[in-house]
Chain A
Amino acid sequence: MNRKEILSSVHEVFVDTLDNDEVRINESTKATDVDEWDSLTHIMLVVAIEKKFNIRFNSSEIQSWNNVGEMIDCIQEKGI
């Protein structure tokens, strides 16, 4: 998948997890940019993304992310 396709899939995860069709994300989106993106939602997003792409992150990878783009970097590093 290219980055655009991964972003599209990640967006689907956000819509589903946040139960919000209106949510918009791009590579520079941070947790502070999305009202519902709190600590619990973050866990649910990570689990949903791991399921979506059938990958597993480790805690240090997750803690290194500053925005959606860095999340996508990590997804691509898993061979997606």
Chain B
Amino acid sequence: MIFKIGDKFSEKFHINDKIYQGFINIFNDNNPLHTNYQFANDKGFKGIVMHGNILNGFISYFIGEKLPTKDVIIHSQEIKYKNAVYLNDELLFNAEVIGVYDSVKAVEFKYHFINHEAKVVSKGKFQIGLLK
């Protein structure tokens, strides 16, 4: 098993216009919270709010590309949103191994995203399987 409990990983992400527009173009979620500054501002946000599932895309990238093996598949994933994320935010993603299950080649992580103000914007867990 290449993972052990306590292993830590970090990655920086930048929510740029290409990611934001790409998400809208693909999934067509044009809810005004995500596209209308005045609407978002009236609801108490300082700008248009990025789609929460963009962060899931970052997690997918991390699992698929940044772990020490490419032989991985996602078993499960949970995400909780704590604070809004805005266009051009820089996010720090931290993940830690919290469970290793050799019998079924599964590894559980907890993670969180922190913004440039050191606020946790999202946190959760995911479980991956190691492909044979």
Give chain A's interface residues, CB within 8 Å of chain B.
40, 42-44, 46-47, 50-51, 56-59, 61-62
Q: For the complex formed, measure the closest distance between the CB of B102 and the CB atoms of chain A, giving whole angstroms.
A: 7
Q: How many residues of B contact A (CB 8 A)?
A: 11
**A64 → B minimal CB distance (Å):** 12
CA distance A50 to B100 in the complex (A): 10
Q: In the bound complex, what is the Cα–Cα distance between A46 and B101 (angstroms)?
A: 9
Q: Is the CB of A51 within 8 A of B104?
A: no
Q: How many A-B residue pairs have CB under 8 A?
A: 34
- B107-132 CB mask vs A (1 if < 8 Å, else 0) is 01000000000000000000101000
Main DSSP-derived SS at the A contact region: helix
A-chain residues with CB within 8 Å of residue B75 when the two chains form the complex:
40, 43-44
Chain B residues touching A, majority SS: strand
Closest A residue to B76 by beta carbon equals A44
- Taking CB atoms, residues of chain B closer than 8 Å to A62 are 103-104
B106 within 8 A of A: yes
Residues of B near A58 (CB, < 8 A) are 102-103
Q: Would you give the shortest CB distance from A63 to chain B, in whole angstroms?
A: 9
| 8 A–B contacts from the bound complex (CB under 8 Å) | A43-B104, A46-B101, A46-B106, A50-B101, A59-B102, A59-B104, A62-B103, A62-B104
